[in-house]
């Protein structure tokens, strides 16, 4: 891949500004934890695994800059940083996993001086990035093996290199299958209202010379009914213990259409996205975003001023519509309560 989603460079967190793609490829060099947290909130970086890696690096950056007199004070201020990041976006499980991972590292080294602890956290940020990359490649291998020969895949939102440390979850499977000569077409839903499919998935695939056809969200049903789609592969922001899947708004409708057309519906996500503490999708928090994302486009008003708007950013696909969940440790099949718990245990 010829771009880098998130990197640590000489005491700065470097992010490709995803709000500017595909028009401009600009890298932002962030110098404080507050800047990194704002970048997550403002969607400079998005996609659950990429948010998790960025949060780890942002926490490490914050730790290097804490001016404290004691280790107790370091611990308190680091907990504040954890709260700062946890408040940025509510749905992606990986964000909370990232905060917990860095906090448990701090707890595991109670005797380290603040400066030494900060250095350990910086190294951990890079380790988490490498783990995510390896997880994406493993998902790619597991998922590509599920496809039965040359396939036409439909995907929703962006679950690619831009949404992870690199390579992608759903797009990782597509990349692995493409390398094996098994991708004849990828249908990319544009993904209203933030257009992650049109702006990001189409950009990534086109750039890697993987055949891609952009469609609007409302066209996916017809594509399936016409027999143009062999499998649906999407990512996830959080997977409940029973296999209910939170993903970008519109995913549920894709899953319903896939079931109606007997098309397998696969979800690809690292075990860091699985939330065994949340029993079902009913209690997964759904982010509600700015109405302007729907009423405006490129500064042009699309709807009457003052109109009431709902803008939930994610929906829940019930486990019964999910054919399989592909993680880095293997493929979970129903009943998910058992199979997901086993794959999470295998990761630790």
Binding site for ligand MRU (CB under 6 A): 46-49, 157, 159, 163-164, 169, 196, 235-237, 247-248, 313
Torsion of CA 69, 75, 80, 83, to 10 degrees: 170
Tell me the closest approach of the beta carbon of residue 185 to ligand MRU, in angstroms. Answer: 20
Residues ≥6 apart with Cβ < 8 Å to 19:
42, 43, 44
For residue 116, the minimal CB distance to ligand MRU (Å) is: 34
Task: Rank residues 30 and 254 by Cβ distance to ligand MRU and give the closer one.
Answer: 254
CB of 121 to ligand MRU, least distance (A): 24
d(CA 303, CA 151): 39
Query: Catalytic: which of 237, 244, 275, 315?
Result: 237
CB of 47 to ligand MRU, least distance (A): 4
Q: Whose Cβ is closer to ligand MRU: residue 70's or residue 130's?
A: 130
State the minimum distance, in angstroms, from the CB of residue 319 to ligand MRU.
Answer: 17
Residue nearer to ligand MRU on the CB measure, 164 or 295: 164
CB atoms within 10 A of CB 260: 11
Alpha-carbon span 343 to 87, nearest angstrom: 28
Q: How far is the CB of 75 from ligand MRU (least distance, A)?
A: 30
* Strands of 12-16's sheet in order across: 6-9, 12-16, 27-30
Nearer to ligand MRU, 64 or 311 (CB): 311
Residue 31, CB-side half-sphere exposure with 13 Å CA sphere: 0
The DSSP bridge pattern shows strands 151-155 and 183-189 to be: parallel
Among 235, 222, 155, which residue's Cα sits nearest to residue 191? 155
Residue whose C-alpha is closest to residue 188's, from 214, 164, 170: 214
Angle at alpha carbon of residue 273, lines to 30 and 65, rounded to 5°: 25
Is residue 328 within 8 Å of 312, Cβ to Cβ? no
Active site residue 237: yes
With respect to ligand MRU, which residue has the nearer C-beta, 82 or 168? 168
Token pair, residue 239, equals: 């997977």
- Judge residue 70's burial from the number of C-beta atoms within 10 Å of its C-beta, 0-12 exposed, 13-18 middle, 19 or more buried: exposed
Nearer to ligand MRU, 178 or 289 (CB): 289
DSSP letter (8 states) at residue 298: T
Nearest residue to the partner ligand MRU, using Cβ: 235
Number of H helices, E strands in the chain: 12, 16
Active site residues: 237
């Amino acid at each position: 891949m010829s771009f880098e989603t998130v990197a640590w460079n000489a005491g700065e967190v470097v992010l490709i500004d995803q709000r500017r793609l595909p028009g401009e490829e600009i890298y932002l060099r962030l110098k404080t934890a507050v800047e990194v947290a704002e970048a997550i909130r403002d969607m400079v970086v998005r996609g659950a695994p990429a948010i998790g890696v960025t949060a780890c690096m942002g926490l490490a950056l914050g730790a290097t800059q804490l001016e404290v007199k004691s280790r107790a004070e370091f611990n308190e201020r680091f907990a504040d940083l954890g709260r700062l990041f946890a408040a940025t976006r509510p749905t992606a499980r990986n964000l909370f996993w990232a905060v917990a991972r860095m906090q448990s590292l701090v707890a595991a080294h109670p005797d380290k001086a603040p400066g030494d602890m900060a250095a350990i956290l910086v190294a951990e940020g890079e380790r988490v990035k490498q783990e995510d990359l390896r997880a994406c490649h493993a998902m790619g291998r597991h998922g590509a093996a599920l496809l039965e020969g040359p396939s036409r895949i439909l995907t929703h939102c962006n679950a690619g290199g831009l949404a992870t440390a690199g390579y992608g979850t759903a797009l990782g499977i597509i990349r692995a299958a493409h390398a094996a000569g098994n991708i004849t077409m990828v249908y990319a839903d544009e993904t209203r209202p933030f257009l992650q499919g049109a702006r990001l998935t189409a950009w990534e695939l086109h750039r890697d010379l993987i055949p891609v056809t952009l469609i609007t969200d409302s066209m996916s049903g017809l594509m399936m009914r016409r027999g143009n789609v062999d499998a649906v592969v999407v990512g996830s922001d959080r997977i409940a213990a029973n296999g209910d899947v939170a993903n970008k708004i519109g995913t549920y409708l894709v899953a319903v259409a896939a079931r109606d057309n007997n098309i397998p519906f696969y979800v690809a996500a690292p075990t860091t996205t699985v939330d065994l503490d949340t029993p079902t999708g009913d209690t997964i928090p759904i982010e509600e975003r700015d109405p302007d994302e729907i009423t405006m486009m490129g500064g042009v008003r699309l709807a009457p001023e003052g109109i009431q708007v709902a803008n939930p950013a994610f929906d829940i696909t019930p486990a019964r519509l999910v054919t399989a969940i592909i993680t880095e440790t293997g493929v979970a099949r129903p009943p998910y309560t058992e199979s997901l718990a086993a794959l999470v245990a295998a990761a630790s």
